[in-house]
Amino acid sequence: MTRASYLATARADAIHWIRYEDFSDRPSYVISDLAHRIPRLRTANPNATLLVKDYPPQKIRNMNIDQISALNKIQKTAISSALLQNSELVARFGYDVNPP
């Protein structure tokens, strides 16, 4: 096996892709899945109340709609333009890029 193959195998063993939406929509599943690689997470509480930014304490939830609704049209266009320039990278994470 070549060195590149060893490195590719090591990377596959060391990297676990998690999307924010998957974690926020199904925290129990994602934490359980991660616990196979990181045993310490077996005791993590997916129903815990957390402090995030300046929001009141709350359970894990998807904040995308709230965050996106706070953006104005110019901000949304700027973000979409930047993501379009890197659409291949964005696609690797499982996201579609919509033109502005």
d(CA 46, CA 34): 12
Q: What is the pLDDT of residues 2-43, one digit of tens each?
A: 877 877 777 777 788 889 999 999 999 999 999 998 999 999
Banded model confidence at residue 99, pLDDT cuts 50, 70, 90: low
Q: What is the pLDDT of residues 35-66, one digit of tens each?
A: 998 999 999 999 999 998 898 999 999 999 99
pTM of the model: 0.72
CA dihedral over 71, 76, 82, 84, signed as positive or negative: positive
Residues 6+ apart with CB under 8 A from 48: 59, 60
How confident is the model at residue 1, as a pLDDT?
A: 58
d(CA 85, CA 80): 9
d(CA 11, CA 78): 33
Torsion of Cα atoms, 90 then 95 then 97 then 98, to 10° = -170
Banded model confidence at residue 100, pLDDT cuts 50, 70, 90: low
**Arithmetic mean of pLDDT, 72-88:** 91
